[in-house]
Chain A
Amino acid sequence: MENKALFEKLSSRLDELSNLPKLDDEKSISRLIEEKGFSRREFMGWAGAMTSMLMLPASFTPLVAKAAEMADRLPLVWLHMAECTGCSESLLRTATPSIDSLIFDYISLEYHETIMSAAGWQAEHNLESAMERYKGKYILMVEGGIPHGESDFYLTIGAHGKTGEKIAREASENAAAIFAIGTCSSFGGVQAAYPNPTNATALSNITNKSVINVPGCPPSESNIVGTLLHFILYGTLPALDAYNRPKWAYGLRIHDACERRGRFDAGEFVEQFGDDGAKNGYCLYKVGCKGPYTFNNCSKQRFNQGTSWPVQAGHGCMGCSEPDFWDKMGIVHEPLGNRLYHTVFGGLGSDATADKIGVGILTVTAVGIAAHAAISLIKKPKE
């Protein structure tokens, strides 16, 4: 019954959207997909995958397909702030010319600094006119941290030399929805790492509008496209966690669905890169995997059209979708449990603390890890 009500709600939302004018009357997303050689069956297959990613029942697939076709009703403005363009790169690398990339290429025509044709004065004009023409209707996606306060001149954009902060604030003012794409716009990102020389900050700190964070460095293409589809389907904000991340993507820890989880549970750890454990796909916690502390769906969605993800390649998670992971997740190749905390017990590592004292002063996860870490061998001492 619950599903039925939701189905009806989403259907009426899509009906409403279909009354809105299209960006271009001559073209449509479904025709574009067909022109590029995709069959309806392939398109529906893609929509089915998207449906399951958004944690909707399979019977909702036609709705998701319709939502994708409605994407050209919603103009999109994509801004680059202080960043490395990695998020755009991640998006451009969506599946082999995939349906997501097609939709994105088609709808992001309004303004995207890296892939749009316009430049200079024309680009600035495009941005201003898109913001004016689609006032209250456009979706704003921002990539990059925002140099803030005294030093916002670390980033100026456009022929008028406006600061990034001013542009982001103006664009946020009349957006229908605001998405911070990537860890930089969500939490400040690498430039905000200590000592944060440019005073970079999250988009949510410079606007009082609701910002949905889609962190990751970079976020996977499916999380970016899924966020957009979710908005088209629901027209409202998704359920969010404490850091304003959509729960459908960031509701579980990397660790919860990790392919090496069984190894962790069995106490089988890689002690050193290149050892037999590494060859046999043991758990990477002891060589610095931050999966137990990181909320994201990488283990399910993977990257580059599902090709792989860091843990599969043998490196372990960096925790890149967590706030300030640069400073708070410790040294990269060491387990977070080795980190010394200033506690009432002195500067003991978190694992050691749990081992020795046996009280859960840390999170349940950390205690679990400590217990498992204790089962396996102590890290080989180095000469």
Chain B
Amino acid sequence: MIKLIEKIEGEAKLNFNFKDNKIDFVDIEFMSTRNIENILKGKSAFDALVINPRVCGICGHAHLIATVEALESCYDNLQISNKAKSLRELTLNFELIQNHFKWFYLTMMPLFGHKQEVLKATYPSQLMGKAIALFGGQYPHTSYAVVGGVVCDITEMDIIKLQHYIEQTVKFVEDNLIKMESESFSTCKSVDNILKYEGDLPDILRQIKKEELLAYGKSYGRFISFGENSYFKKGKSLKTRVNNNIFIEHAKESETATSFAKNVSYKDKYYEVGPLARAMVNKNKLILDAHRKYGDSIFSRILARVSEISQLLKHSKKLIQKLDLNEPSYIEPCIDIKQFSSSGYSAVEAARGTLIHKVELENGFIKNYEIITPTQWNLSGGTREKQGVSQKAMIGLYDIKMAELVFKTFDVCSVCTTH
């Protein structure tokens, strides 16, 4: 049976195969592409800074940061000020946060039979959008990060505004998402504790328990996360065993016959990326507790994504405190990019997981550009023998509606995926 899954910022076609009334195998197809990688070829290196955010209007900022870091990795001894690094990290955090709100309120809540509350999604995401715009000029599609730093020269006044946006967002979390102090939520270690509170998140989590959906959505329990910054760690995790020694060269793309999206694997194995993977690699106590009790189920996936909001808000506040506005925003690279041929790569954590950019330059022009998006990791369409992460998570379910729920807990995005 073929089912279209929409509202994933585009759509995907899932072809369900049943055996004994249970889902036996699922084919995943993406039916559109724009061929951005081909468009990048032959263009001037810096043009990628404008084109790549347009790969995705949802995670455009992650693409900008990935692009600028990939280009910067082509240089030896390039200097970036701490201020520029922190500003980039802050804006990326804000993008993650606003994404999580929209996913929870626009996509998840209706799937649990709740009313779609558009305003609950848009209010905090607008706040975070404004926070990005303070530095970046607009959101979506900023271009404020350039090779050598950022172009904005922020003042104390901007910082005050920014703190206001963050406080308003924290207040929204405390009034709606979970009615406890956001700070305590970000450090809470026990799932049972979370379940005692009021709010939209505990409501959904309790509903999962009550409707006995706790075993749904389990996959391999294999997680990977490449994006490193002052909050996220790089590594892979097999259940709870974490190994921080991983290499981007082992992340490989392969074409599939039926879909415009390519599969991605690490050392020939499919891994889950995203907030759950990040939390497992970061050894977040709350998520470890959820994982111990309910595995990599929809319960853990939802909790990991939503709890990341409070964690990132808290971490962003710390970053702001450490900002030194006297540092330069931009340090000019010692070599003009037009003068060299080199290659480089970057990995950043986007809302949906690890985003990798690889670039090859020839006399300042792009010879080759490869983009690996988070949804490609999670939605790799494997074979019956070797299934992708989300394919595996849907096996054994009785009902397509439930499969759709499981599928969407990965917060898939077809816009990016079919670049």
Contacts and interface: CB of A to CB of B under 8 A. Distances in A.
Interface of A: 36, 80, 82-90, 92-97, 101-102, 105, 113-121, 123-124, 147, 154-159, 161, 164, 189-191, 193-198, 200, 217-218, 272-274, 278-279, 302-305, 307-315, 318, 320, 326, 331-333, 382-383
B47 interface: yes
A273 B146 CA distance: 9
A101 B46 CA distance: 35
B134 A96 contact: no
B49 A310 contact: no
Given A155-B31, A318-B143, A303 B126 contact: no
Nearest to B122: A92
A303 B139 contact: yes
A193 B143 contact: no
B328 A190 contact: no
A93 B34 contact: no
Given A191-B36, A274-B149, A80 B10 contact: yes
Contacts of A86: 54, 56-57, 60, 140-141
B6 A120 contact: yes
Contact of B11 (A87, A113, A194, A332): A113
Interface in B318-347: 328-332, 334-336
B44 interface: yes
B46 A218 contact: no
A299 B34 CA distance: 31
Contact of A318 (B38, B50, B119, B336): B50
Interface in B2-53: 2-7, 9-11, 31-36, 38-39, 42, 44, 46-47, 49-51
A249 to B, nearest CB: 16
Given A113-B11, A190-B39, A310-B137, A158 B4 contact: yes
B46 A332 contact: yes
Given A307-B130, A313-B142, A383-B335, A84 B35 contact: no
A310 B144 CA distance: 8
Given A120-B3, A197-B38, A315 B126 contact: no
A190 B34 contact: yes
B332 A113 contact: no
Contacts, number: 230
A113 B151 contact: no
A311 B50 CA distance: 15
Contact of B334 (A87, A331, A383): A383
Given A84-B57, A154-B34, A310-B138, A333 B146 contact: yes
Given A318-B143, A332-B143, A119 B122 contact: no
B129 A93 contact: yes
A193 B39 contact: yes
A315 to B, nearest CB: 5
B295 interface: no
Given A85-B415, A155-B31, A190-B39, A308 B122 contact: no
Given A119-B4, A121-B4, A303-B138, A273 B11 contact: no
A85 B133 contact: no
B138 A308 contact: yes
Contact of A96 (B123, B137, B146): B123
Most buried by A among B44, B119, B122, B134: B122
Given A121-B4, A195-B39, A313 B144 contact: yes
A314 B153 contact: yes
Given A114-B9, A157-B31, A274-B331, A332 B138 contact: no
A190 B51 contact: yes
Contacts of B332: 272-274, 382
B116 interface: yes
A308 B106 contact: no
Given A86-B56, A304-B126, 6 more contacts: A84-B415, A92-B121, A97-B123, A191-B39, A303-B133, A313-B133
Contact of A82 (B32, B47, B152): B32
B410 to A, nearest CB: 16
A119 B404 CA distance: 11
10 contacts: A84-B54, A84-B55, A96-B126, A196-B39, A197-B34, A197-B38, A198-B34, A273-B149, A308-B138, A326-B47
Give 7 closest A-B pairs by Cβ, nearest first: A86-B57, A274-B330, A313-B137, A303-B138, A197-B35, A310-B137, A84-B57
Contacts of A88: 57
Interface in B139-162: 139-144, 146, 148-149, 151-153
B123 A331 contact: no
B58 interface: yes
A156 B31 contact: yes
B136 interface: yes
A164 B415 CA distance: 15
A90 B39 contact: no
Given A279-B153, A331-B47, A105 B55 contact: no
B135 interface: yes
Nearest to B41: A195
Interface in B40-88: 42, 44, 46-47, 49-51, 54-58, 60
Contacts of B50: 318, 326, 332
A329 to B, nearest CB: 9
A145 B232 CA distance: 36
A84 B419 CA distance: 9
